Structure 1
Amino acid sequence: MVEGFIRVASATPKIKVADVSFNRDAVLKYIDEAEKHGVRLIVFPELVLTAYTCADLFHQTVLIDKTMKALDEIAEATRGRGMVAVVGTPYLMDHKLYNCAAVLHDGHILAVIPKKNLPNYGEFYERRWFTPGREEVRYITRTSAVTKEVYTIPFGMNILLEAEDFPEFILAAEICEDIWVPNPPSTTHALAGATVIANTSASDETVGKDSYRRELIRSASARLVAAYVYTNAGEGESSTDLVFGGQDIIAENGTILKEGNRFETGLYIADVDLQKIVQERARITTYPDIDECLRDRYDVVRFSFNNPGDATMPEEKPFSEGAAAGDSEKHEETGKSLKNKLLLDAADLRRFVDPKPFVPGNVLERNQRCDEIFTIQAMGLKKRLEHIGCKSAVIGISGGLDSTLALLVTARAFDMAGIPRENIISVTMPAFGTTDRTYNNAVTLTKRLHATLREINIKAAVLQHFKDIGHDPEDHSVTYENSQARERTQILMDIANQTDGIVIGTGDLSELALGWATYNGDHMSMYAVNAGVPKTLVRYLVKFVADTSEDKDLSSCLNDIFETPVSPELLPPTGDGQISQKTEDLVGPYELHDFFLYQILRFGFSPKKVYALALKAFSEENQKSAGISEVETYDAGTIYKWLNKFYWRFFSQQFKRSCLPDGPKVGSVAVSPRGDLRMPSDAVAKLWVEELEEI
């Protein structure tokens, strides 16, 4: 399994009302099936052993006696499996009946957690049969109906179950209605340290309830910064007055990883990243510390996944063409390389890993995101223009993606501020690498946006500069390239002085992360509108305007810019006039770099984990699972090569980011030295490179 991940399952079997033996066997069947897939935690519905809809049959002694025995039988079936099962069951204790979640592992009942909030309104009558649970924990003695072993069990709501061999896994449980109340028990559980919440539920279906339920679970996982496994009753419950439709949900910190189909039974599996949850809690400084006084009110049950009792873990079997977790462990034990292990782990990962984390896959959502980002960028620039009383802006327009986006944003900001667009000075500065395609697009774009076009050919000025510093024009080294970039910046700054304006920066977030900018050249401006926008998203922002503009000529121009290879155009074109210098040939694909950037800065993941996630994200299987076709696939060698390059450039180029101009943050990742990234310019990449070298 990839570092920090654990496989969980939500299981809704088809049951029969009051047929405990049938229901027990249905639970066991899903436990067997889950084991084949390497599942470590499986959660079943509320009162699954009897059915939720038994009503006054809960007062029948034979039903309860049979259920208590079935619970021991299921507990015994977990022996040696390395799996925790959470099973909804009635539980009789001290002459009172409780609606409970029983936590089973390695032949034992680890804990019995009662439901606190018993609904007694509308179609619900739980107070007729059950007693509300209490937070305080009592210990009860139980004799197994199967092994006759006598052992003690904690009973109460305030129970945490910690895995000694997976310290990020801390399980707590609540039951159905508990999550629907204003102050759910899961809030206290999370504040006491729980990272995974299991909910055994029996929520009936009414019109529109599914969307509310989905948002309830999703938002609970986000609010708690936790994983939430919600398992709902389904087919087999009595339909006398109600219908139960399942809709199992596995959520992680605000993201739904897996959702069962309504009105269907089934086993739903996903891999949850508990390391991400722990790191998010550490990053969010407003997330409360674990209150020791609160923690003292909890009883902690410790167990081990990998060494249950004296049993030997069975070998896990593959579930698909990719290898299963057991296979990857076997490879590691037999001395296979770490690289092969990571390949197997990535193939086995049971979740979609988004290869474009900055770009929504849904077209409607993507368009909404693009419009929102445009507005943020334009509002930032509008404020700056108003604050300094500036009535003009100067942009170096190249016909590439970044300068195009900057010009589009500036046009919107001028419209918002009520400033005529002709006050936008769009400057094209042809030099040694400029092609007809980009030059013509720069001119067309400026005209269609009604900005003022100025053309200043910089060849003579740069050649004079070469002469001044004694540089051979045939030497196409970094001096040749950067001299052009700095000459252009000087021109833009001077024109801004002439027109009482400011220079609008065009560089994007991806370039800043890689240090792909000429220091005191395109690196510098007076307001950097693109500084928070990654390259993969820049493309779609330009495409968004192309698709929504009523100006057909503008749309045609923007579409061609969208298709133009990314290039600084600082080296002479090919013999047929085409772009010779393609950025992605030099620094690597921006799809990969943006993925690395997101995983490293947003979550602080290790190089090995970033590598494994990239293997999954850019695999054909992962993209097919989500119906994605527009993203490239990359092999392990290519991913490794450019991840190495990313770390080297990211650390070595921090000095450029340490003195960035102002610019608006638009997403969850940014590199401004005044905001998100407080990083010393002299930090070394040794630790990160050494871990990569292990691969």
Structure 2
Amino acid sequence: MTNLITVSTCNLNQWALDFKGNKERIVESILIAKKQGSKLRIGSELEVTGYGCLDHFYENDTITQSWEVLAEIIKDARLYDILIDIGMPILYENCRYNCRVIVYNGIIQGIRPKKWLANDGNYREMRYFTPWMKADNYSIKYKLPFVIEQIHNQAFVCLGNITMNCLGTKIGFETCEELFTPQSPNIDLSLNGVEIICNSSGSHHELRKLDKRLDLIINATKRCGGIYLYANQIGCDGDRLYYDGCALIVVNGEVVAQGSQFSLNEVEVITATVDLDEVRSYRSSVISRNMQAMANDNLFASIDVPFRLQEGEANSSLKPTTKKTIRYHSPEEEIALGPACWLWDYLRRCGGPSGYFIPLSGGIDSCATSMIVYSMCDLVFKAIKDGNKKVLSDLQKVSKQSLEWIPESPEQISDKLFHTCYMGTSNSSKETKDRAEALSKRIGAYHTTLNMDSIVAAMVTLFEVTTGKKPIYKIFGGSPTENLALQNIQARLRMVLSYLFAQLLPWCRNSYGGLLVLGSSNVDECLRGYLTKYDCSSADLNPIGAISKTDLKKFILYCSEHYENFSILKDFITAVPTAELEPIVEGQYTQQDEADMGVSYDELSEFGYLRKVEKLGIYSMFVKLLHKWGKTSNSLHDNLDGCIVTQLEDLDNIDVKKSVLTRGLSPREIAEKVKHFHKFYAINRHKQTTLTPAYHAENYSTDDNRFDLRPILINSKFEWGSAKIDLLVDAMEKAEKEIMKLD
């Protein structure tokens, strides 16, 4: 008897609460798996409901309709003769569980609830679900709802931490977050003889994150041996996250199949033929592993399934799938692809709007957003060329075109979906106007240009008539208050004009349906609060709201090399970052972003990472940056903890004292930058609560929705921590003076 098995996993583009569409995609994936000869198919986490239902999980309808969808799947005889692993929520004794439901030939074989829930970062699973905390070998007799019972008279099923004992092999389960825990279930599963481990996930995209996920899967099977099937959701299911697919099949640490990380396909099935004998040989040759398996007493509730997954001797043409080289995208490619797929899903699913609108300033941020939209158009065009009829149908529907219309280039798609407008004033330069026009023309967008001086003047006149006082710019003798007010008038008027144009431009072009307004504030500016509340940063969506300025520059450079005839992009990279909200004097900008902020964009990225990822407060951040930015040498680094305790006064080692201040910034310069950042971060903290919903891309995102939860009102002086910094700086400067005397 051969021990070859054909198995399938998949990427599914599910949508929260889209029970009909979700069911259709689940069924399609099972049918494709069967067509490819598979005997086992696993799907993504909570694939029946969609992962991102959030507080809709509280509704009993969500549970009830999940069972109704499962009933439809169970009744479909086309889905027989294959073991199916389906994800859905289940209610047991008034507790809600995130479960895997295992089905074979219309009978539910068992239900496996998730043990370890994702409850940090973007995830709040314990808000909705209860972790299964029973002993591993404990299971209960679960009463099935009538909608299931009436199909095949099945009234009960085993619910618990189960494994499936099929004829000839054993299958186990872990779900998403459980893979990332220190004691992953796959360890005990492998020691208990489970040869195939199924992991169904709802894992979101984040720049530079994929390697961590793949590394865990590959090392799990490299250490323990076995066959690992990983399924994931793909696409935007209704929120700020993009689930990036990348379904995998791994055997003994070698990848034999890998799905797309970014794709417009709603259903992608990954199939491979694997050899159980390879697993048995791999495991049995490691004596220490066998001893641990013998001593392991974490047993599971095992369920017998009368189904043989192995192929028969007659199928002699079947061969194991060979190993593959893992595909990774560069961060620049991830920016081009992830937000573009997210924007496409949002546009085609939101109903009504016929495209996107952006106030195109001629700066790098709005340029980056525009190039992401162009990337979306390029992906749509390529999908249509590859024969994706669903993408073509969605495009025709969104763009309000006839069924006969088929685009011949990404630019033709952009002409229908993308609208840009340069909103200039007397403070704007010809260079930014020309850049905006040139970029929009190359992308193929429908572009308009306006001068809003008359509207700005009307606002100032209204204020002057009402109060008797006229504000003037700082360059002409006005106060900082007047200067800021005049800048904010322009910024907020651009927001109002954006929504006016977004609503009426399709009408001007003899079409209908408004446009979704896109924002272009990067994560560094949002963190610093360097934006006007309710200005043109306020929009419907912001594709770059969690991407750093540094990464955006690299992305623009990538686009200039990746797409043909986009040399205009290099002009955006070299342009001085400015909002053009103050008068230009003698051809020079009086306002520049980095000078205005008091810190560089690179420094803001550093602050953001230390604050969110390393979770450092003001004092700890200062100490960390002393090592990284300071003039101190390695010998002082080694003694820095002691310096903090003794304020440097007890250091008798002359060599250590001589090592102070040999390169980088001085302690006082670092202290001023750290305190400056915290001051403006705290003052502008309220702005984070009104930020436009942004694509989650960076691990120091400022999203106030659920990723970065902070008070609105913070004491911007940080007096205690600032005083500690000042004491340490004084002590270090005293040590510097002693060194100079010694020299």
Q: What TM-score bracket applies, with the shorter chain setting the length?
A: 0.3 to 0.5
TM-score between both structures, scaled by the size of structure 1: 0.43
TM-score between both structures, scaled by the size of structure 2: 0.41
